[in-house]
Amino acid sequence: MAVDATQPYDDQNIFAKILRGEIPNKTVYQDEFALAFHDINPQAPTHVLVIPKGAYVSWDDFSAKASDAEIAGFVRAVGLVARQMGLVEPGYRLLANTGTNSHQEVPHLHVHLFAGQPLGPMLVR
Ligand code: 5GP
């Protein structure tokens, strides 16, 4: 079910459990600010999720409340993951679903990183 991006943080969400090591994941990269891992149901040949280590529901929550260091660390981690995976050329797509209309399902901020083939139109029409 899609989540309301303004709801309070639920520390029982699936990505909180992954961050605590309660659920396994295929880690691509991690540092002080971010964890990157393969999506369990990939929508492209490469489909990686990058999440901040802090407890933020959505892009809205993170951009309003995270510290400058958390924001810089997270954004740099997304770029680093893409570079380390060799995705800059031929290219990749970032997507952060936020709230009900976007069909955000997991209430912990995550950026999808898609690559590995031509990715088609930006949105379904
Ligand atoms: P959203 O729709 O919230 O933007 O995307 C949630 C994503 O999380 C989906 O692409 C879904 O496949 C992925 N996902 C959900 N549960 C798990 C899980 O337990 N492990 C991993 N690696 N990905 C998950």
What domains are there in the chain, each with its CATH number? 14-115 (3.30.428.10)
Cβ neighbours around 6 below 10 Å, total: 11
CA–CA distance, 30 with 26 (Å, rounded to integer): 11
Tell me how far the alpha carbon of residue 64 lies from the centroid of ligand 1, in angstroms.
23
Residue position matching structure tokens 């990939």:
42
pLDDT 10s digit of each residue in the chain, 125 long? Answer: 788 878 899 999 999 999 999 999 999 999 999 999 999 999 999 999 999 999 999 999 999 999 999 999 999 999 999 999 999 999 999 999 999 999 999 999 999 999 999 999 999 88
pTM (predicted TM-score): 0.97
Give which of 30, 68, 67 is closest to 49, Cα–Cα: 30
| Catalytic positions, written as ranges | 110
Q: Looking at ligand 1, which atom is closest to the CA of residue 104?
A: 3
Q: Is 96 in the pocket of ligand 1 (CB under 6 A)?
A: no
| Residue 78 and residue 111 in contact, taking contact as beta carbons nearer than 8 Å | yes
Alpha carbons within 13 angstroms on the beta-carbon side of residue 55 total: 10
Q: Is 50 in the pocket of ligand 1 (CB under 6 A)?
A: no
Cβ neighbours of residue 83 closer than 8 Å, sequence gap 6 or more: none
Q: Is 40 in the pocket of ligand 1 (CB under 6 A)?
A: yes
Among 22, 39, 56, 98, say which to mutate for ligand 1: greatest number of ligand atoms within 8 Å of CB.
39
Give which of 11, 29, 33 is closest to 20, Cα–Cα: 11
